[in-house]
A and B are shown apart, each in its own frame.
Chain A
Amino acid sequence: MGDLFNPTDEHRALREMVRAFTEKEVDPQAEKHDREEAFNLPLFRKLGGLGLLGITVDERFGGSGMDAVAAVIAHEELSAADPGFTLAYLAHAMLFVNNLAVNGNDEQRERFLPRACAGEIVCGMGMSEPNAGTDVLGMGTRARKDGDGYVLDGAKMWITNGAVSETELGDAFLVYAKTGEGSRGLSLFLVEKGTPGFRLGQKIHGKLGMRASTTAELVFEGCRVPAANLVGTEGTAVISMMRNLELERLTLAAMSLGMARRAIEVMNRYGSERKAFGQPIREFGQVARHIAESWAEFQAGRAYVYRVAGELDLGTAGNRVDSDGVKLYCSTMAKHVCDRAIQVLGGYGYVAEYQVERLWRDAKLIEIGGGTNEAHQKNMARDLGRVDRIR
């Protein structure tokens, strides 16, 4: 029956399906797409066929109707093989698809979700800008009401899935823009490729990790969208953002789990196979420490993530302490675990063949994307100011 990591038979079946798919189809292509800094679009579309792109979305709109735990399982499993590809999955399935499913209206859901769940379109979300990241409300992109629509001006930076190739935009985006001042001045818009005034600024090259996902700058110059593309009501997007950020951070933490898990498997195996001074290296105390500490930290992070996932209601905000907390802990945990894996493998850890150097590069991103660790610390310390006793 169910356990913390697979609360129902469906969760377990999901994990088995994604794991089998990952071993057969995701693992073999990962190294090449990292090296070539290329997004694997055909593989991405296959996720649609499996029902993974609309994992949290109602069946009415082409989704699979599952919960936050299911989303965590999918991200953990995929990320063990290819975090870069998984980041593209996350940006589409969590930041666009789930975001619209939760915050949009039925007309908008019908217009976008069936195609997005099937993988016919590749989507993303634009919050960060060249001059404003952590300081979201300091964003410069503005949307001005004009007749029966809005006109957007500004630029978004670091947008995952912003491009599907070197020159081509992704298909549709949820874009945050200012319609007023302060926390009640933020609104959310749907912007599609092909809208006049919307173009690809640049595809960003030379990323340390997550190279199998594209990252791009999106530019809006007098970009006119109909009022039907306003998601929610004008000025209420901070709430929408908060709701979606919780799931984003939780699934980013799940990605860290996948990376740590794989790194531990690699170093654990290597520790038995590699001999030095006549014995397997795992018998040296310093190597044993790398393996044992990694295991304990991974298990702690895993329990934390699944506990929080089990309690996360996709429709509400209010879990910020722990959705920040799981990412704060697991991002650095995975980075350390991958680092130890390289150390245990010595020279072999430093080259692509054993995967851990790639995981190490990918793991670093989780300390930055979806909120920096400093932002999590700031949020958590502020929210915890209201906590007296720990239940």
Chain B
Amino acid sequence: MKILVAFKRVIDPDARIKLTADKTAVDTESVEYKANPFCENALEEALRLKEEHDGEVVLVSLGGEDITQTIRAGLAMGADRAVRVEIEDKALDSDLAARIFAAVYKEEEDVDLFIFGKQAVDGDNNQVGQLTAQYLGLPQACFASEVEVDEDAGEATVTREVDGGLETLAVKLPAVITADLRLNTPRYAKLPDIMKARKKEIEELDLDDLEIEDTALKIEVVSLEEPPKRKGGEIVGSVDALVEKLKNEARAL
């Protein structure tokens, strides 16, 4: 099996962040980066499928030279090689990202599965997997919590988490799957594999190589706002007072 995994670097979701002065982006001065947790689920699933069915796992990442460290972390987890498409984060939206992923998919040939995280924890857009499937005309199974592949039948059975329960889909391969957190627990990179990752190939492409000319963005970030500061808590005297406040002040009921 040949499996592509979209692998994104995000700002450490546990870190405190600040906005830039013009409030259109997060200030990246002295922030720490990590692999997107959902992408780690996607990679873990790809590695398990590879262990079961043999084949190759290829990471696909979009970004500048500085994301190499995150890519190496994915290679240390066990991916065989990686493709990095040179582009600035600012120059991307979900749609362009999806078109780039689609182009890489075509370059790679004979891909059986393209696995994404269901969303990146920075923008929380939850669009790229779906858009990529659309551009490629592939079936999609999003928010997977369980994946099984029957190679002979050329089919994947995907359990997905939907409101109020689980849904099971069978999709023809090749297909796009997006991973939910409950799909698996990503492994730690073993130290010998960290050493080996140094020697694995990272192919570098740019938009010209992929013949992508239309780089116009469909989404513009107008402004970002920090969440309102938490107000102090309050102890209420009775259940009735609590219900009243939940209804009328918090509007939670």
User: Which A residues contact B (CB, under 8 angstroms)?
Assistant: 9-10, 12-14, 16-17, 20-21, 49-52, 55, 59, 64-66
Contact = CB atoms under 8 A, between A and B. Distances in A.
A54 to B, nearest CB: 8
B81 interface: no
Interface in B171-219: 188-195, 197-198
Contacts of B69: 9, 12-13
A214 to B, nearest CB: 25
Nearest to B77: A17
Contacts of B195: 10, 64-66
11 contacts: A13-B72, A13-B76, A14-B194, A16-B73, A17-B194, A49-B190, A51-B190, A51-B193, A52-B191, A64-B195, A65-B192
A10 B198 contact: yes
A66 B192 CA distance: 9
A321 B188 CA distance: 37
A122 B129 CA distance: 47
Contact of B192 (A9, A12, A51): A51
B58 to A, nearest CB: 20
A84 to B, nearest CB: 22
B73 A13 contact: yes
Contacts of B73: 13, 16
Contacts of A66: 191, 195
Contact of B197 (A13, A51, A65): A13
Contacts of A20: 188
B188 A14 contact: no
A9 B195 CA distance: 10
Contacts of B76: 13, 17
A21 B194 CA distance: 15
A378 B194 CA distance: 41
Contacts of A52: 191
A14 B72 contact: no
A14 B191 CA distance: 7
Nearest to A47: B191
Given A9-B198, A10-B198, A64 B72 contact: no
Given A9-B72, A12-B69, A13-B72, A50 B188 contact: yes
Query: Which secondary structure characterizes the binding site on chain B?
Result: helix
Given A51-B191, A51-B192, A64-B192, 4 more contacts: A9-B69, A12-B69, A55-B191, A66-B191
A55 B195 CA distance: 11
Contacts of A9: 69, 72, 198
Nearest to B197: A13
A49 B188 CA distance: 10
A88 B215 CA distance: 56
B190 A10 contact: no
A273 B34 CA distance: 27
A17 B188 contact: yes
Contacts of A12: 69
A51 B190 CA distance: 6
Contacts of B198: 9-10
Nearest to A46: B188
B191 A50 contact: yes
Residue picked from B191, B195, B197, most chain A C-beta under 10 Å: B191
A13 B189 contact: yes
Contacts of A49: 190
B9 to A, nearest CB: 13
B246 to A, nearest CB: 27
A52 B192 CA distance: 9
Q: Can you list the 6 inter-chain pairs with the closest CB atoms, starting with the nearest?
A: A51-B191, A64-B191, A51-B190, A13-B194, A51-B192, A64-B192
A21 B186 CA distance: 11
Contacts of A21: 188
Contacts of A50: 188, 190-191
Interface in B18-56: none
A50 B194 CA distance: 10
Given A10-B195, A10-B198, A17 B72 contact: no
Nearest to A16: B73
A10 B195 CA distance: 6
A17 B192 contact: no
B84 to A, nearest CB: 15
Interface string B217-228: 000000000000
Nearest to B185: A24
Contacts of B190: 49-51
A59 B194 CA distance: 13
Contacts of B188: 17, 20-21, 50
Nearest to B194: A13
A357 B193 CA distance: 37
A375 B193 CA distance: 40
A180 B192 CA distance: 42
A164 to B, nearest CB: 24
A13 B192 CA distance: 11
B192 A10 contact: no
A356 to B, nearest CB: 22
Contacts of A16: 73
Contacts of A64: 191-192, 195
Nearest to A24: B188
Nearest to B35: A16
Nearest to A70: B191
Interface in B136-156: none
B187 to A, nearest CB: 9
B189 A59 contact: no
A66 B198 CA distance: 13
A251 B59 CA distance: 36
Nearest to A65: B195
Given A13-B72, A16-B73, A59 B197 contact: no
A16 B33 CA distance: 11
